[in-house]
Structure 1
């Protein structure tokens, strides 16, 4: 039995136990099953490794480089003692952090909820995304750097972290601030419904295009990212949403097509950044995008791409990766929402071999995770 099948069986068992509401031995079995899926609160994936215990995410490592010794989050009222004055972020050090619970885990994403009302999601992608969402209450986040890493402010609401072989950036989406405190660590304040995003890069990868992507994420014009690659012969997708009003799902539409479904509560259009590996879509030479079944316009410039937001037609642009000939980033500018579907793949109709099966982390497995999300692993009462 392969790893995905084992995970599905474990999650199905967890779901059945939770639904029947068994007590005594049944409740103990549920807890043990949940612990099995999280490997004793540790995660080690293709790109990402970390531990989640007590009140912090610790030893956050991307592609073998440990960037943070710990990441903790707590409500602003707990950190500042309920004071009405604006918090002095530079003086915020060693916050206790709220208790954490791992509430869901797929092949690529770990969802962690905090007792303060915040939520964290860690993504096993080449960017090693960590996303902290404030929820309904203002939050404070502190990321203590590993001994080899250094942080520095770069413009408004952006902090760059540099280590031996990787660097990364913290961005605030919505209302809030991020800076470097007096101990040299990263601290952020988030107003309700705002988000702190961390994304990392290998040496030399943070080029002008990456910085432009960061700006789009920070100003809200990029609503989400999708990563699709092939691992051990299997197509795997991960989705990263940058707002609580946006839900994204990726599916295998056919052998050479990926389908991205975006459901957004607000009508304003936005860009979804999708990075695809050639093996997942057959070829990068002739990529096309269809939105809701209709061919999208291929933009000839970044300004033309952005002008599609709120325009008459959706548009797309393909950017080849300088560091890898087998990967490309497809920018899809949806002109409006609520629910829209983009099909990305080789330039044909793509419909003959369509399938309802989702990529790993979605479909039936995602349904089990969604229904069983309440049966989380409590890391601190």
Structure 2
């Protein structure tokens, strides 16, 4: 799709002058005006645009907040309070940024789920998927470091607990922990490093997102049927067909975000983080932000040793493995059919996977004791089994439903129904 000849024609002298030196208008025209997209895209496909808007919003609000923030353990908490009280619209910027992080993760989890459901990771889109997983890793690193910056109780103790897990890594664990902390404990050097990285990583994320979009335009957009484009009747121009749908989805998403910002700005935060950090007072229950809770539950589920791997190292490997396994999904799924619409058994197991992910999130918010540990272990087992057992086996034994011959045929069938 990327090799088609451009139909862009400059209409003014300035446009012709610019086109001969820097064909930016042609690139915009080809990529966002006449770029062909499958005609059957639904609203699940609007989350790519939503994520782009949220990334821009987080960077803009973050840059302004950084102008007033003081990365010092004696001043950080008070500087956040000053932003809220004394900076013009500071409360709005802070709430947009903090709630925006949560909604950023809501959108990215839905985006990943859509990719898993419709098989958007299958050839020739493997690199597109890997770049998306890289974006997720950068997002998680950025969010973790950003959570430390308010220097509340949960910020301090969350950083203490999570960085301590790096010491479980043989040979280099202590070195990695000291590199992150800038010393032997969470203190002023830690806050400075986390602030610098939290400011830098979003711009790295912009670069990888650009590659992600570029890769998408090279291989073309997947669609709910999983059938490749076969004729011009299968596609429509990106503008206005996709842009109008994306714009509507973005507006609805931002309205929900606005409701939280104006009516429930602290609902998604932890109450302990509104108390200044105190190294001498440990919270009763240390938990990360809600979007990390499934991985936190997986981390704590490993309470046993396997040979030379003790429970601490096993938990760290399981937590990072839960993210790393996503990268290998294109090669773990052996099915020839992309979309779960035509795979009844995969659709059932995927539904169980989604429920299991939500359940893991709830378990991550519970104390690591009693029945919660056993439930976390069972949920962790299914999480990994979905990727390394269900995906490979179902592709070999499942009988999919009949695929439509083209996207247009699928659209006409739906219209007839």
TM-score of the superposition, structure 2-length normalised? 0.21
**Which structure has the bigger radius of gyration?**
2
* Structure with greater strand share of residues: 1
Q: TM-score, normalised by structure 1?
A: 0.22
Looking at secondary structure, tell me which structure has more helix per residue.
2
**Whose RCO is larger (CA < 8 A, sep 6+)?**
2
